[in-house]
Amino acid sequence: MALAIGGTPDAELPSGRTGTYPRLLRWEEDAWSESVLPEELVRTLELPPEYGGIDGGTVMLLSEVFWESPRVVWLVAHGADLLGLGSRVLRSDDRGRTWAEATHLLPEVFRYRGERDVDPRSTLDDVWFEDALTWWVAGGYRGGSPDIAIGPAVWKTEDAGATWAPVVRLREALGPAVFLGRSTNEPDLTYQRWEGSGAGYASIVRSLAPPHEARPVSPELDLRDYAHVGTRRWAIPSGAGGGVWTSSDGRTWSEQEIDGVPPAGPKPGEGPVFAAIELIDATTGVACGGTDDVLGVPTRPYCAHTTTGGEPWLESAFVGPRVNSIAGVALLDERRGWGIGRLWSGVGIGAMLVGEFRMFETLDGGATFEHTSTPFDGEMTLYGLAVSP
């Protein structure tokens, strides 16, 4: 079972305005189909006309999928971070067939309130369901100055969202916060911190156990996406030539070999810039992105796969319509998975991301990705993929 989230741009919304209509796709029984969101729920995702930001301020976008259990799943919708509007949650208890409003399950500071610049709300970054009753959430308000920034912060509930208590607040943080190593039941939190104009961003790992020790990862990297299996972690840094890195404790990292790519990183246009990584177990995984031109615009998709835990990673093959990069990836099992292909309108500084998104499927553990048909193929903007646990 898998879900893909996104929307069809320039569509008529329930209010009669034009915007990106939220869409949800379900993969079950060897095919993708649409899971239609009730019109009354879509109407509640529309933002007041006076708001700017993402999508011209018309609608909150479906941004994240979090599985509470093999049957229960959350959809999280956001407005623009700078608006401080908070987040919305839609919840399904039948594997994504039907949906209901569930924003009330969040801590108050994350709940969408519909008022701008008044008691700004946080954007939900990550959710970890430790068990049926114990949940953790992380996120923050990233608008305004550091003096009014809310978090990011971590909250915990032990009664399935009835009551929440703050765990730690991170005023030093910038960017999303992610629970790292959740499969060990002793997770840390990782986030980005600005280290100055020379050093740029560096990832920080903070313990969720008192006294909440924090320290930069070693070497200093700006890690952007993670995979977790037991005590092993894999991650990809931002920027050209970032490669794939692995760690057993989330703090000390070492670079892994990518076949045909120098460890020091490729020159622009000669190697991959990864955007997403996923491992289904301690040996089998994929990392995807694209190869950039000299101006940092992807020119062709690039994925690497491994059946040896990353020792080494091998380049994957693509079959299907032209895309410039693979922006997201998810594995259902050791053989089957999907990647989201994006097509840019051109190359160089003038390039723009257009709404031509294609789904690619692998049936051989990532060695080959081939275009597969979905509802709204090429017409729907795809933001994310997630498979049930």
162 and 262 in a single domain? The answer is no
Q: Which of 149, 171, 193 is the last residue of a domain?
A: 171
Give per-residue pLDDT as tens, 124-175.
Answer: 889 999 999 999 998 876 554 444 445 568 999 999 999 999 998 876 666 6
21 and 154 in a single domain? The answer is yes
Residue 326 is assigned to a structural domain of this protein = yes
**What average pLDDT is seen over the chain?**
83
21 and 161 in a single domain? The answer is yes
Which residues have C-beta within 8 Å of that of residue 328, sequence separation ≥ 6? Answer: 275, 276, 288, 339, 340, 382, 383, 384, 385
Exposed, middle or buried: residue 202 (CB in 10 Å: 0-12, 13-18, 19+)?
middle
Please state the pTM of the whole predicted model.
0.88
Mean local confidence (pLDDT), 219-238: 85
For residue 110, give the 3-state DSSP assignment: helix
Give per-residue pLDDT as tens, 257-302.
Answer: 988 776 655 555 556 788 899 999 999 999 999 886 556 667 789 9
* Residue numbers of the domain that contains 24: 1-171
The structural domain count of the chain equals: 2
272 and 387 in a single domain? The answer is yes
Residue 246 is assigned to a structural domain of this protein = no
Q: Which of 171, 194, 212 is the last residue of a domain?
A: 171
| Listed residue (145, 211, 199) closest to 174, CA to CA | 145
Residue 3's pLDDT is what? Answer: 96
129 and 1 in a single domain? The answer is yes
149 and 267 in a single domain? The answer is no
